[in-house]
């Protein structure tokens, strides 16, 4: 069930088309991000919130909430309505105040008993279950939570090696992740600051984790999973066109929402290249997807 390379569930970014794009370039597993357990459990028709597709492989769905029974009900509905989904994930790692206000996301780490109950309820769906979490205090506190998750029947744990208070600042504590892996019997997927395929593989080979998960680096380079990177502006725009093509083929959202999303994808793909600041400014002012893609002509010679 555990694969080598995972695309992280990135809220408002790793949509169906982006996941398919990364899987096309070698991501072995991916996950639909941040689905409200309350929304699904209270109204089964809202399964449409889960933008999953049978063409995806080794797909997980991440749910969040603060009520174990509701979380379990949502997991059951997802498993029943989307049988092609391979695994389920409980979000105990989102550090945003919006998610944590009601005790969801990283706030759940303060209540290990609730996490254990939620995992046990999710297991009733008969799908493999994982928990995505962050460091909680120091090693002892984090390990105590992980052991409860393991005892509750989770199939694997994904650890982002930062605390909730760190957000995405500072560095990932890979030595702590390694110590947790060594103490558990279920697989540990390491997450945080993996910038390339060789780096991720290196973390596995050095015993820091059983598998690795990539988030922000994949936003700038979806080809990362095949150990490639675009070398010119034209190659970057080629990836953007590939993304647009997938959006069109799979009927992704259109109109202003798609334009906003496409601008975000373009901003990330163009980051770091020569003349990026000026090009990104033009992306920001574009009034249509066509205008964004047409910028390739003026950027063609830039590396």
pLDDT in tens, 65-106: 999 999 999 999 999 999 999 999 999 999 998 899 999 999
pTM of the model: 0.94
**pLDDT tens track for 249-279:** 998 655 556 899 999 999 999 998 888 888 8
Residue for token pair 């596995």: 204
Q: Using an 8 Å Cβ cutoff, are 124 and 76 in contact? A: yes
175 CB-near residues (< 8 Å, 6+ apart): 208
- pLDDT above 90 covers a percentage of the chain that reads 85
Task: Check 22, 31, 92, 94 and give the catalytic one.
Answer: 94
What does the pLDDT read at residue 253?
Answer: 57
Predicted confidence at residue 1, as pLDDT, reads 58
Instruction: Tell me whether residue 94 is one of the annotated catalytic residues.
Output: yes
User: What is the pLDDT, as a whole number, of residue 52?
Assistant: 96
* Predicted pLDDT of residue 197: 97
Q: What is the pLDDT at residue 300?
A: 57
Q: Which residues of the chain have pLDDT under 50?
A: none
């Amino acid at each position: 069930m555990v694969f080598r390379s995972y695309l992280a569930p990135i809220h408002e970014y790793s949509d169906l088309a982006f996941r398919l794009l990364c899987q096309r370039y070698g991501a072995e597993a991916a996950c639909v991000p941040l689905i409200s357990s309350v929304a699904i459990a209270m109204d089964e028709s809202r399964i449409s919130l889960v933008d999953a597709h049978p063409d995806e492989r080794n797909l997980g769905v991440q749910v969040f909430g603060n009520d174990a029974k509701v979380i379990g009900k949502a997991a059951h509905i997802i498993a029943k309505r989307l049988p092609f989904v391979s695994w389920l994930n409980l979000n105990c790692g989102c550090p945003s105040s919006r998610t944590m206000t009601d005790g969801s996301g990283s706030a759940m780490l303060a209540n290990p008993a609730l996490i254990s109950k939620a995992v046990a309820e999710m297991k009733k769906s008969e799908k493999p279950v994982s928990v995505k979490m962050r460091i909680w205090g120091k090693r002892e506190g984090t390990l105590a939570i992980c052991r409860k998750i393991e005892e509750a029947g989770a199939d694997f744990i994904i650890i982002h090696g930062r605390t909730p208070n760190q957000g995405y600042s500072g560095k990932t504590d890979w030595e702590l992740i390694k110590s947790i892996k060594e103490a558990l019997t279920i697989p540990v997927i390491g997450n945080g600051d993996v910038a390339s395929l060789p780096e991720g593989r290196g973390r596995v080979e050095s015993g820091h984790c059983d598998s690795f998960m990539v988030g922000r680096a994949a936003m700038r380079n979806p080809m990362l999973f095949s150990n490639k990177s675009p070398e010119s502006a034209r190659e970057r725009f080629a990836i953007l066109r590939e993304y647009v093509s997938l959006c069109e083929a799979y009927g992704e959202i259109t109109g202003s929402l798609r334009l906003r999303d496409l601008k975000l994808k373009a901003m990330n793909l163009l980051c770091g290249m020569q003349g990026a600041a000026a090009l990104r400014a033009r992306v920001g002012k574009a009034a249509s997807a066509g205008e964004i893609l047409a910028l390739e002509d003026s950027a063609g010679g830039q590396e």
